[in-house]
Amino acid sequence: MSQDVPDAPEGTSPEAPDGLLTMTTGRVAHGGHVVARVDDAPDGRVVFVRHALPGERVRVRLTHSGEGRSFWRGEAVQVLEPSPHRVVPPCPYAHPGGCGGCDLQHVDLAEQRRLKATVVTEQLVRLGGVDPEQLLGGPVVVQALPEPGRAPGEETGLGWRTRVRYAVDRSGRAGFHAHRSHVVVPVERCPQVSDAVDAPGVTRLPWPGVTAVQVSSGEDGTVVRAEHGPARTRLPKVDALGLLGGTEDRPVRLAGRTWVRHDVPGAGRLRVGVDGFWQAHAAAAETFVRHVRHHAGVRPGDTVLDLYAGAGLFTLALAGDLGADGELVAVESDRGAVGDLRRNVHDHPVVRVVHDRVERALRGSDVPARADVVVLDPPRAGARSAVLEQVVARGPRTVVLVACDPASFGRDTALLAGCGYRLRALEALDAFPMTHHVECVALFTPGGAA
């Protein structure tokens, strides 16, 4: 199996005369790569290779190399000995030198999930200092999320994305960045996006003067936001609920509305701004709510903290379990998300919203000094010690951590263990098929509690 070899990105330094090196691939690594070593290289040079699978022999074009680097990066452009799990990528843009959005289109879906489970396990062992199989009574298994109209086991891994952010090149064509690059790869249609996201035809329209286009869909339609410089820009007409323009930090409503609606079983109805935080997979919100509610175990009268609350998905889900005497404090720092959050919880008197950074809010008087349940959904960098130490100081009986990065999850697990909280349950969810990303919903309880 072979592919056309793209030009090496500017600034790289391929070491072989033809710019290619023959390598044998080893284990999967966090970030969508496999670890490889240059055949017959005396120094055992390590290279992180994209578009490869463990156990393959490949020809690699280096993309980031040089003697001063502790490791190199490269892309497999020719497969000499393929893995039995290799497939033809369903997307025409998923190839070396192409779109950088999907790392695993060349891998069958079942193997994608096994590779992600391997990465989660490795990060928990190496960074978290725990053996998940020993703690949880079995290996980590990455679960597929439902796809509309398909039975379990018949997933395609395509058409799941309900919101997307396109980059725009200088000629006004929308697409995605190449891997670790500012180069925009224009696309006709991304097979990951839902029909609703594709319906306005953003990738087939000209966007002169625009730097990025955000498209978000909900139960009631789609909203489009175009980002551009301070000068007025003429935008194309789109068939959508709303159209926004303006600079990155100053959106301007041009027509229609600025938000979409999501109806989530177990949580209720939410409105979310076009560029607000929301899980992209069509089934993610309902799936996450189910697991978070189960692990949180909220009881009537509890005091609950929802940290990094976003638009209030978990806030609404947990508020319904509190009864009239409970209290839920939702903390969020982003101004736009707080606006959505306040609207979404307007009819829930047990909820109080705190607009602040989580670590600062936990040090202040707006957040209760004691809590029964704490739910955290931090950004990719994780919650870290400044937050987790404040969380455990409140003595919660349960901590539910939603983590979007296995390495950060491993580090936060170690921090919680150091504070006396042990990992009790874990769901690893394939919320981003065809990519290396995986979401984890984890339950921690103190000491030797069951």
Enter the tokens of residue 355: 């607009």
CA distance 93 to 294: 40
pLDDT per position as a tens digit, 375-402: 999 999 999 999 999 999 999 999 999 9
**Which regions of 187-326 does DSSP assign to beta strands (E)?**
210-218, 221-228, 242-247, 250-256, 259-264, 268-273, 303-307
Q: What percent of the chain has pLDDT over 70?
A: 94
Q: Report yes or no: 172 and 208 within 8 Å, Cβ to Cβ.
A: yes
pLDDT tens readout for residues 263-283: 999 999 999 999 999 999 999
Instruction: Write the DSSP symbol of residue 2.
Output: B
Angle at 43 between CA 39 and CA 47, to 5 degrees: 60
pLDDT at residue 39, rounded to an integer: 66
Task: Give the tens place of pLDDT for each residue, 238-267.
Answer: 999 999 999 988 999 999 999 999 999 999
- For residue 58, give the DSSP letter: E
Q: HEC profile for 106-147?
A: CECHHHHHHHHHHHHHHHHHHCCCCCHHHHHCCCCCEEECCC
Homologous superfamily of domain range 20-86: Nucleic acid-binding proteins (2.40.50.140)
In 3D, which of 110, 85, 53 has the Cα closest to residue 430?
Answer: 110
Torsion, Cα 357 362 367 371, to 10 degrees, reads 130
Determine the Cα–Cα distance for residues 252 and 204; give it in Å rounded to an integer. 23
440: left (phi over 0), alpha (psi -120 to 50) or beta: beta
Strand locations in 311-380 (E): 327-332, 351-355, 373-376
Q: Residue 65: pLDDT band by 50, 70, 90 thresholds?
A: confident
Q: Report the C-alpha gap between 70 and 260 in whole angstroms.
A: 46
8 Å CB contact between 147 and 161: no
Cα separations in angstroms, 183 against 77, 173, 209, 291: 19, 12, 16, 39
The rounded distance, in Å, linking the Cα atoms of 364 and 387 is 12
Q: What confidence tier does 445 reach under pLDDT thresholds 50, 70, 90?
A: very high
Lowest mean pLDDT among 51-60, 61-70, 340-349: 61-70
Element (H, E) at 330: strand 327-332
| Contact criterion met (CB below 8 Å) for 3 and 96 | yes
Asked whether the beta carbons of 423 and 135 are under 8 A apart, the reply is yes
State how far the Cα of 378 lies from the Cα of 401, in Å rounded to an integer: 8
Tokens representing 146 are 């439902």
CA–CA–CA angle 83, 81, 45 (5° rounding)? 95
Say which residues have a Cβ less than 8 Å from residue 230's Cβ, sequence separation at least 6. Answer: 247
What is the overall mean pLDDT for the chain? 92
**pLDDT tens digits, residue range 188-233?**
999 999 999 999 999 999 999 999 999 999 999 999 999 999 988 8
Question: Which pLDDT band, with edges at 50, 70 and 90, does 151 fall under?
Answer: confident
Q: Is the pTM of this model over 0.75?
A: yes
* Model pLDDT, residue 153: 83
Give residue-wise pLDDT tens across range 309-328: 999 999 999 999 999 999 99
End-to-end, the C-alpha distance of the chain in Å comes to 52
Measured CA to CA, the distance from residue 215 to residue 240 in angstroms comes to 10
304 in Cβ contact with 372 (< 8 Å)? yes
Q: What are phi and psi of 323, to 5 degrees?
A: 75, -175
Only one residue has tokens 């103190």, namely 446
**Given CA atoms 93, 95, 96, 99 in this order, what sign does their dihedral have?**
positive
State the average pLDDT over residues 352-379. 97
The average pLDDT across 423-439 equals 97
Asked if 209 and 229 count as a contact pair (C-beta separation under 8 A), the reply is: yes
Active site residues: 404
